[in-house]
Amino acid sequence: MDQLALYDKILQLTAPWKTENVHLDEITGQITIKVTCAESQLPCPKCHALSKRYDSRKRYWRHLDTCQFQTIVEADIPRIKCKQHGCLTISVPWAEDSSRYTQMFENHIVKWASETSILALSRQLNLSWNAIDGILKRAVDRGLKKQKKVSCLHLFVDETCIAKPREFITVLSNQKGQVLAIADGRSSESLLECFSHVPIQYLNKVRSISMDLSAAFKKAVETRFGRRSSQLIAYDHFHIAKILNEALNRVRTAEVRSMPNIDQLHHYKTRFIWLKGNKNRDLDTHAQLSDQSQYLVNTSTVWFFKEQFRDIWYRSKHIKVKTVWKNWIQLAKETGIKPLISAAATVERCLLGILNATKYGVSNGRAEAINNNIKALGRQSRGYRNKERYKTAILFHFGNLDMRLSTI
Ligand SMILES: [Zn+2]
């Protein structure tokens, strides 16, 4: 096989394209492969009608290195004159129309960018951040266009801070941990924008949308899904349990403070005893709880309701679970303990969302895990100065997209 035929094979060229010559510049350490198109008539890119060549324009593409040499493909790209569409530049089989890199080179960048930092890639391949960003952006756009089937049975929405001071994005993901859409801010418009990126046929199949207690996200679901929203909104256990824990702490602090100073010492720093979950309670904790309960009666009452709350949440396979919750709310209100009454009012207001969450067993844990990954991505890149670049990186790494370019 001669040298030109070898490069035809390497670039996977077929007629009418062929390698004309290969030049090595030893001073710059660069190989230039000149490719030509011999045909005088070529198909129009729009209607495919054979049309005469009109003129040509020289272009260059970076290709994968040949051994230690940076390799450039050079070609005069013909323009044809179609009777119907006028003068048009024809597409080349080795690169995307707008790209300055061959498909094989772009695939190489996409593969490596998923395994290393942009900084390392930039240094290793002597490419600017802008160049890499352009390749990744095209890869993400390609992946989003190729996406045929999206799993949308259970959606998760969360906000995450991506830059100081307090610059937020809203992230919509599914039960597989796949990021489906991102939008600036954390308003109801942000979530509506996320929904607009998901094909309507998939949104129609949604059974639950898990979220924190954000009024903005609730409003967005109500706007997008109308009456169906009450069956979809699922509140996260962590965020409601947090309200109860805060109520417990307020009651405990007030109760301890109302004691004579000498007695306060005995109850001081007992916060974590009350907050410990059932699984983490050892015999010593049980003894301490029993001891403290004798003196902190209101705290003990709120603790009892907190424990009941968790039991109902996780063991709510009961047919009349709604009645069980209503009884819990009623009894909590009857205690007369203001922070508990306020927490019970929140539970009452969110009851449909709680019932949806327990029905499907969904929580925002997965969305929180994605948030952590997003923040870790920012730290690895030493912070993204450009927000759009950060958003592209999130979809690149967590969008589960097929971003490969099909080579010739
Ligand atoms: Zn045409």
* Domain boundary residue, one of 59, 74, 94: 94
- Higher-confidence residue of 117 and 332: namely 332
- Of the pLDDT bands very low, low, confident and very high (cuts 50, 70, 90), residue 173 is very high
CA 79 to ligand 1 center in whole angstroms: 12
Cross-strand partners of 42 = 51
CA 47 to ligand 1 center in whole angstroms: 4
CA 88 to ligand 1 center in whole angstroms: 8
CA 93 to ligand 1 center in whole angstroms: 19
Entry pTM = 0.81
| pLDDT reported for residue 14 | 87
| pLDDT reported for residue 174 | 92
How many Å separate Cα 253 from the centre of its chain?
40
| pLDDT reported for residue 317 | 65
Whether 382 is covered by a domain: the verdict is: no
CA 81 to ligand 1 center in whole angstroms: 8
CA 56 to ligand 1 center in whole angstroms: 17
Mapping DSSP to helix (H, G, I), strand (E, B) and coil, where does residue 185 land? coil
Highest mean pLDDT pick, 203-212, 291-300, 319-328, 386-395: 203-212
Whether 333 is covered by a domain: the verdict is: yes
Whether 203 is covered by a domain: the verdict is: no
Indicate the residue type of 343.
A
CA 312 to ligand 1 center in whole angstroms: 68
What's the mean per-residue pLDDT of the chain? 87
- The residue whose two tokens read 């050079």 is 74
Say which range, 52-66, 211-225, 268-282, 382-396, has the weakest mean pLDDT: 268-282
CA 91 to ligand 1 center in whole angstroms: 13
- Of the pLDDT bands very low, low, confident and very high (cuts 50, 70, 90), residue 397 is very high
CA 148 to ligand 1 center in whole angstroms: 30
Cis-peptide into 16, omega within 30 deg: yes
Q: How many CA atoms lie within 13 A of 71 on its CB side?
A: 16
* Whole-number Å distance between alpha carbons of 404 and 406: 6
DSSP 149: -
Residue range 37-62: mean pLDDT, rounded: 91
CA 86 to ligand 1 center in whole angstroms: 7
Q: Tokens representing 221?
A: 């679901």
CA 16 to ligand 1 center in whole angstroms: 19
Is residue 327 within 8 A of residue 347, CB to CB? The reply is no
CA 83 to ligand 1 center in whole angstroms: 7
Ligand 1 is an ion; residues with CB less than 5 A from it: 44, 46-47, 82, 84-85
Q: 237-257 and 338-349 helices cross at what angle (nearest 10)?
A: 170
Residue range 81-94: mean pLDDT, rounded: 92
Whether 77 is covered by a domain: the verdict is: yes
Of the chain, the end-to-end C-alpha distance in Å amounts to 21
CA 96 to ligand 1 center in whole angstroms: 20
Q: Identify the H or E element spanning 212.
A: none
- The residue whose two tokens read 């054979």 is 50
Whether 280 is covered by a domain: the verdict is: yes
Model pLDDT for residues 284-308, shown as the tens digit of each residue: 777 777 777 777 788 889 989 998 9
- How far lies 88's CA from each of 17, 45, 54, 59, 81, in Å? 18, 7, 9, 15, 7
CA 45 to ligand 1 center in whole angstroms: 6
Q: How many CA atoms lie within 13 A of 279 on its CB side?
A: 2
Model pLDDT for residues 226-263, shown as the tens digit of each residue: 999 999 999 988 889 999 999 998 998 888 787 777 66
CA 209 to ligand 1 center in whole angstroms: 48
Q: Tokens representing 104?
A: 């094989």
Whether 11 is covered by a domain: the verdict is: yes
Model pLDDT for residues 14-23, shown as the tens digit of each residue: 888 999 999 9
Say how many domains are in the chain. Answer: 2
Its domain, for residue 286, covers 237-360
Say which range, 69-78, 143-152, 170-179, 378-387, has the weakest mean pLDDT: 378-387
| pLDDT reported for residue 265 | 64
Q: Tokens representing 185?
A: 């801010």
* Domain boundary residue, one of 94, 129, 163: 94
CA 85 to ligand 1 center in whole angstroms: 5
Q: Tokens representing 281?
A: 């309670």
Is residue 274 within 8 A of residue 241, CB to CB? The reply is no
Percent of the chain past pLDDT 70, that is, above it, reads 93
CA 74 to ligand 1 center in whole angstroms: 26
CA 95 to ligand 1 center in whole angstroms: 21
* Whole-number Å distance between alpha carbons of 179 and 404: 18
CA 80 to ligand 1 center in whole angstroms: 9
CA 43 to ligand 1 center in whole angstroms: 8
Is residue 44 within 8 A of residue 85, CB to CB? The reply is yes
| pLDDT reported for residue 290 | 74
CA 278 to ligand 1 center in whole angstroms: 73
Whether 308 is covered by a domain: the verdict is: yes
* Domain boundary residue, one of 29, 60, 94: 94
Whether 318 is covered by a domain: the verdict is: yes
